[in-house]
Amino acid sequence: MKWIYEFSEGSREQRELLGGKGANVAEMTRVLGADRVPGGFTITTEACVAYMEAGRSAPDGLNDQVDEALAALEHRAAKRLGDAGDPLLVSVRSGARVSMPGMLDTVLNLGLNDESVAGLARHTGDGRFAWDAYRRFVQMFGNVVHGIAAADFESELREARERAVVEADTELGAAALRELTESFKRLFEERTGDPFPSEPRRQLEQAISAVFDSWDTERAVAYRRINGIPDNWGTAVNVQQMVFGNRGESSGSGVAFSRDERTGAPTPSGDFLANAQGEDVVAGTRNPEDLDALAERLPEAHRQLLDDLATLERHYGDMQDVEFTIEEGRLFLLQTRSAKRPAQAAVRFARDAVAEGLLTREAALMTIDVDSLDALLHPVFDPEFEYEPLTTGVAASPGAARGAIVLSAAEAVRRAADGDDVILVRRFTEAEDVAGFYAARGILTAEGGKASHAALVARGMGRPCVAGASELTIDEGAGIVRVRETELAAGEEIMIEGSTGAVTLDEVPLVEPEIGEAFGEILRWSDELRRLGVRANADRAEDAARARALGAEGIGLCRTEHMFFGPDRAELVRAMFVAAERWRRSELAARTDGDAVRAGLDRARADYRASLERLGELQRADFVAILHEMRGLPVTVRLLDPPLHEFLPLEHFESELRALGRSGDPDRLRAAAEAIEIVRDLEESNPMLGTRGIRLGILYPQIYEMQVRALIGAAAEATEAGDMPRVEIMLPLIAYETELRQVRARVVAAAEEAKREAGREVPYSVGTMIELPRACLVAGAIAEHADFLSFGTNDLTQTAIGLSRDDVEGSFIPTYLERRIIDRSPFETIDGPGVGELVRIGAERGRAANPTLKCGICGEHGGDPASIRLFASIGLDYVSCSPYRVPIGRVAAAQAAIS
């Protein structure tokens, strides 16, 4: 097995094998020449994987191949590793196939010992440089390879400065550095029980193992979780000849970008430290200068650097991030990679690269990290401002907000009506809190995750949300929030950052979103290139207007139940369901029990119809407003879906009965007691799989008929106003084709009656939401009665995998991620082999039975770039996501079409 490639053998196409750094160093050697890039070799990612699988033991043949590659490097350099006369020194660096900045380990100056340091001093004529290199090596080797705390070395270094009465490390002389190196070696032996290894080959073997081991450090694992990097990729190891930026004032090290890394402007930028090695630049212990200072100090090296940056950017077709060292006036480039940059820089570069002829539109779009675009759509904490975090939670919905703490939705509504900015703080949220979401600037919960109720609703409304801040203790009765020893009263102000999960008491400046011309052009290109439609999930006219402004091509999911949860409607909805159940029970009893029961039936029917009529008026007004905002575009309206317990909380009715008990009104007491009996009878042990969706439409068909009449009446009104409505009626939670056939017939009858009453022709279609595995498998039979299928992947994930979305994010999902059972939460990115395959089966079988069938997605996955790629490959017609994810969906869909 070939475990090692010399830099001259590799290329950028071998990223999976050589890692990003190894592949790019090899490519840079080919482009710029060996004179510019110090020589070396790469140990492959396959070697790392084999090392891990062997229980952290070198795979067969690796050590022999290291010896051969080292001998070849020594031959080219005309030096030997650790030679006492003129030693070859090397760096040992990590290199995963994707950049993981700061997550993996590096060792510099390897090969020094008590003999070779003297040879280095003699050869360079600079004892201070030699001993500075040696102390750095002992320090890094002890920290990286043997886990000795960096603070312990820093303490020794601070004492050395105090003894020498100097402020900076660079002011320490050769004698002081020699004494410091001996102190470091004594510290090493105290902490490890062994003397510092002096044999260079042993040093190299330990360093290689340490870099392999760094793949599994806590910080690296956490970074992979956040960025969706598989655990089985491993890291390569790059062994490279050292060049030295700490050889005096004509030397230095730095990092340079081919363009401004913050804005994307076509001006190279970066940091430079004179008389320093690379770790000094990234450690932040000295203040660097910018590249203009390099132009003044070493103009020829600066000119060469700018030329090389331009060459590499043209060659790679992307903005480059380069590490460089200047040794006594001679420039060396140590690595290059595509630059990490914020969203505004990404879109500026893409737009400019096309204008400059550097890239095609397709290639430019593929340079954009789509997830980063969220920052262009929401205010965020100023990244330059330092603040003290109070606690952190899950970054559940992007954006930042400041406001007074409120502990209930009702209080949020009241204070917002008075003009106050508020943050709704809850242990967890429920459907009845929706009015508080509308009123609040942001939401903070102690429980839940990215797929919790709070997160889903917040993203849909464009509200910042931090969920699962487990250090929060909320005492709603006392009006107190506690975070460890800190106690906050309701009304005190906090700030949350939903893009990072941060919570703070500090007043952090906010950076407002900027879409700008560059992003607008990127979106126009995306629309021209993508094949997948992008709609929005929107339940209010304001959401619809925002979605349309952000480029939505319609509404893929309008959840009518969210219209029921407003502060002026909750009581009416509760009364409607109680009346509906009274009427249903009275109707059953009247078949056998005679006139007395029929009198009760008449009263129940009258109450039920009155509730339906009032709700119908409210829904019609809602629909008119939404259809107006989306004029000419399709609007998919899902009829009532949630389980009954969300509308009929037992504690509300019990509280009402207690309050009535003091009034002594016997009729009202009797009605309240009967309502409690009904609610208790309707309680279910697993309501999410109980009486909801189409089952509500079968048990209480008048509710669906009311909604359809309201919708068609609104569409007729919109037609009269010239809004050209395109209405799609969606029936949720279908399991059996017979359910759809029966309920569709009643829906069509109600729609036709409403059209006749309006005296206008209103085009509409009727389809269904696919949320159950059985529905995917029998999609062909279902499609015979449907004009469209919309896959509700939130619930489909729950029912296919057997997960409760609101519970698992804070319970076992983190453990599953930690133990590598899964790479990503299936509520963030769709489970391709399982849930994704069900979507594929459903779409294929549905279209086979009904070739004109439209198929789309309306779960949160519709705004996830990785999931969008899968949906595009299946050939769906559209995805639907929260309004603020629409631009991201547009670019992701274009990238899917390109790739």
The first and second tokens of residue 513, run together, are 């979103």
For 523-568, the DSSP string reads HHHHHHH--SEEEEE-SSHHHHHHHHHTT--SEEEEEGGGGGGSTT
**Per mean pLDDT, which of 334-338, 698-702, 768-772 is the most reliable?**
768-772
**348 CB-near residues (< 8 Å, 6+ apart):** 263, 264, 265, 518
What distance in Å separates the CA atoms of residue 460 and residue 451, rounded to the nearest whole number? 12
Neighbours of 380 (CB within 10 A): 23
Q: For residues 405 and 442, is the Cβ–Cβ distance under 8 A?
A: no
What is the pLDDT confidence band of residue 460, given thresholds at 50, 70 and 90?
Answer: low
Is the pLDDT reported for residue 596 higher than 60?
no
**300 CB-near residues (< 8 Å, 6+ apart):** 329
Q: For residues 439 and 416, is the Cβ–Cβ distance under 8 A?
A: yes
Is the pLDDT reported for residue 540 higher than 60?
yes
Is the pLDDT reported for residue 209 higher than 90?
yes
Of the candidates 186, 111, 107, which has an alpha carbon nearest to the alpha carbon of residue 141? 107
Radius of gyration of the chain (CA): 33
Is the pLDDT reported for residue 438 higher than 90?
no
Q: Once rounded to an integer, what is the mean pLDDT over residues 363-381?
A: 88
Is the pLDDT reported for residue 243 higher than 70?
yes
Of the candidates 420, 417, 464, 413, which has an alpha carbon nearest to the alpha carbon of residue 436? 413
Per-residue pLDDT, 224: 82
Q: Once rounded to an integer, what is the mean pLDDT over residues 24-50?
A: 96
> What confidence tens digit (pLDDT) does each residue in 385-405 have?
999 999 999 888 888 999 999
> Taking the alpha carbons of 42, 46, 47, 52 in that order, is the dihedral positive or negative?
positive
What distance in Å separates the CA atoms of residue 446 and residue 181, rounded to the nearest whole number? 49
* Catalytic (active site) residue 315: no
> What confidence tens digit (pLDDT) does each residue in 123-156 have?
889 999 999 999 999 999 999 999 999 889 989 9
Q: Once rounded to an integer, what is the mean pLDDT over residues 563-582?
A: 79
What distance in Å separates the CA atoms of residue 387 and residue 508, rounded to the nearest whole number? 7
Helix %, strand %, coil % of the chain (to 5): 55, 15, 30
Of the candidates 268, 470, 466, 459, which has an alpha carbon nearest to the alpha carbon of residue 349? 268
What distance in Å separates the CA atoms of residue 16 and residue 233, rounded to the nearest whole number? 8
Q: For residues 787 and 853, is the Cβ–Cβ distance under 8 A?
A: yes
Of the candidates 562, 538, 540, 543, which has an alpha carbon nearest to the alpha carbon of residue 433? 562
Is the pLDDT reported for residue 117 higher than 80?
yes
What distance in Å separates the CA atoms of residue 896 and residue 642, rounded to the nearest whole number? 33
What distance in Å separates the CA atoms of residue 488 and residue 792, rounded to the nearest whole number? 40
Is the pLDDT reported for residue 696 higher than 80?
yes
What is the pLDDT confidence band of residue 452, given thresholds at 50, 70 and 90?
Answer: low
Q: What HEC string does 38-76 produce?
A: CCEEEECHHHHHHHHHCCCCCCCCHHHHHHHHHHHHHHH
For 376-421, the DSSP string reads GTS-EE-TT----EEEE-EEEE--EEEEEEE-SHHHHHHHHHTT--
Share of the chain above pLDDT 70, in %: 95
What distance in Å separates the CA atoms of residue 136 and residue 109, rounded to the nearest whole number? 7
Please tell me the total number of residues recorded for the chain in this structure: 899
> What confidence tens digit (pLDDT) does each residue in 640-663 have?
998 877 788 888 788 877 777 766
The first and second tokens of residue 848, run together, are 């086979």
Per-residue pLDDT, 220: 83
Per-residue pLDDT, 591: 64
Of the candidates 248, 245, 305, 257, which has an alpha carbon nearest to the alpha carbon of residue 281? 245
Instruction: Name the 3-class secondary structure at 499.
Output: coil
Instruction: Name the 3-class secondary structure at 755.
Output: helix
Cα distances from 394 to residues 403, 468, 862, in angstroms, run 19, 6, 20
What is the pLDDT confidence band of residue 725, given thresholds at 50, 70 and 90?
Answer: very high
Catalytic residue among 465, 776, 855, 858: 858
Q: Which range is least confidently modeled, 78-87, 96-105, 548-557, 587-596? A: 587-596
For 143-164, the DSSP string reads IIIH---HHHHHHHHHHHHHHH
Q: Which range is least confidently modeled, 633-642, 781-790, 808-817? A: 808-817
List residues bridging with 337 in a β-sheet: 321
Per-residue pLDDT, 286: 60
Strands 40-43 and 422-426, bridge-based pairing: unpaired
> What confidence tens digit (pLDDT) does each residue in 282-322 have?
555 566 788 888 999 999 999 999 999 999 999 999 999 99
Is the pLDDT reported for residue 668 higher than 80?
no
Between 375 and 442, the more confident residue is 442
What is the pLDDT confidence band of residue 666, given thresholds at 50, 70 and 90?
Answer: confident
The first and second tokens of residue 694, run together, are 């189409």
Catalytic residue among 378, 453, 785, 861: 453
Q: For residues 855 and 871, is the Cβ–Cβ distance under 8 A?
A: no
Q: For residues 81 and 109, is the Cβ–Cβ distance under 8 A?
A: no
> Taking the alpha carbons of 555, 557, 562, 564 in that order, is the dihedral positive or negative?
positive
The first and second tokens of residue 317, run together, are 């077709």
Q: Once rounded to an integer, what is the mean pLDDT over residues 474-489?
A: 93
CA atoms within 13 A on the CB side of 523: 19
Q: Which helix (H) or strand (E) holds 269?
A: strand 269-274
Per-residue pLDDT, 598: 61
The side-by-side arrangement of strands in the sheet containing 394-397 is 389-392, 502-504, 493-497, 400-406, 422-426, 442-445, 465-467, 394-397
**Per mean pLDDT, which of 415-424, 435-444, 504-513, 849-858 is the most reliable?**
849-858
Of the candidates 777, 727, 719, 774, which has an alpha carbon nearest to the alpha carbon of residue 747? 727
What distance in Å separates the CA atoms of residue 470 and residue 483, rounded to the nearest whole number? 9
Cα distances from 187 to residues 130, 145, 146, 162, 196, in angstroms, run 20, 14, 12, 18, 9
pTM for the full model? 0.80
Between 332 and 563, the more confident residue is 332
Phi, psi of 767 (to 5 degrees): -140, -165
* Catalytic (active site) residue 562: no
The first and second tokens of residue 244, run together, are 């030295």
Place of tokens 């509730």: 611
